[in-house]
Amino acid sequence: MNRLTAAITTLVFVSVAWAFAPDANAYPHFQFSSDTDTCSTCHYAPAGGGLINGWGREEAGDTLSRGGDGAALHGLVEMPSWLAIGGDLRAAALMKGVETSEGTVNESGKLHLFPMQADLSARAEHNAFALTAVVGLRGKARKSAPPDGSMREEAGALSRLVSREHFITYAPDDSKYTMRGGRFYAPYGLRLADHTSYVRRHAGFGMLKETYGLGMSRRGDDNETHITAHVSDPILGSQHLTYGATAMHEKRGEAHALGAGARLRYTESNMQAWAGGHYKHWFESKKLLLMAEVNTGYQSFAESPDNSRLQLLGYIGPVWFPTDGVSASVAYEHYDEDLLTRYVERHAITSTISFLPRAHYEIFLMGRAERIGPPGRSFTGMLQLHYYL
């Protein structure tokens, strides 16, 4: 595929898909497996995720996929040095079954086809300052009924327009520090791309849960530290704002990373605190990356202080890279919202296969089997077609 053909294909795809939308993040399994030891080596953001820089685009074509030009628009247009653009388009097919205590199965065999994501990203810099913004449309797998129960048609696509991230960074060339203010996810834990994973969803990093905050990041030769004070989105969030702070430190070796973090969030009705750690180890000879994260939590309620909860949240599993452009993973996930109450814990086995046939293209398949306490089970299968600018 030459550059002109690739660019035309891209523009047609963008035109068709730009009416839709959820969440895009970094792929943390590329740390170490792509010969880079920090996520910020390939991304502009100080903790990784979001727009990829020039080095990341080269890696996308030379290392992560089976070839191709990883530059924006396949290299047809050369961006000025002060401007970077990107974007993510995803279409998805989803099947899910839920078995209840009565033995019935909901949604079993139903196939949902939906536009999952359509985001455009841009970053403009001037001296030590840079402005980053991501604009897209909220995707949905099912139609939702209006609040009043009527059958009127839903509002148009523009009513779902949202900017998931928009922030300003200040990073002097001669400093190890980066300051950031705006809307973004506070760095914490493994930072998995899947917003439905337990360690994201139940720790407050679900879809459209980016917070407004002020953050400081420090990059050392073999370590990094991120501290963020944040508040929930006052527009897309609930009427009760959530305030908090999140901190993470990661220490790296030649083939491993060990991190620790803490996260505090509170509203007028409850307070929740998490503390935990994460670990990665790369086995070069086996092309295998082991990833793990565990968090212990405490939650209290203003109206019933005697009903406080101890909580547990975890993830562990390997990612295997059998050949160029292919990765496969399997992971065990666990969430217990109250360690002192029986039958409320959740267990999941999640498996994924990712295929990057060329730079800019990805085929992604995920399967998840969950057990929610003794009576409930669910099964989810999803196929994603992903294109990034």
Low-confidence ranges of the chain (pLDDT < 50): 1, 3-24, 144-154
Contact 270, 301 (CB under 8 A): yes
Question: Counting Cβ atoms within 10 Å, is residue 167 exposed (0-12), middle (13-18) or buried (19+)?
Answer: buried
Running DSSP on this structure, what letter comes out for residue 79? P
pLDDT score, position 109: 61
pLDDT score, position 104: 57
Q: φ, ψ for residue 3 (rounded to 5)?
A: -65, -40
pLDDT score, position 152: 42
pLDDT score, position 8: 40
Contact 303, 44 (CB under 8 A): no
Model-level pTM? Answer: 0.86
Query: Shortest CA distance to 115 belongs to which of 139, 142, 81?
Result: 139
pLDDT score, position 238: 62
Q: Where are the alpha helices (DSSP H) in the chain?
A: 3-17, 54-59, 198-201
**pLDDT per position as a tens digit, 151-178:** 444 455 556 788 999 999 999 988 899 9
pLDDT score, position 1: 47
Q: Which residues pair with 348 in a beta bridge?
A: 333, 370
Extract the tokens encoding 108: 């079993």
Contacts of 350 (CB under 8 A, 6+ apart): 194, 197, 317, 329, 330, 331, 333, 366, 367, 368
Q: Sort strands 256-266 and 270-283 into parallel, antiparallel or unpaired.
A: antiparallel
Q: How many residues would you count in the chain?
A: 389
Contact 46, 169 (CB under 8 A): yes
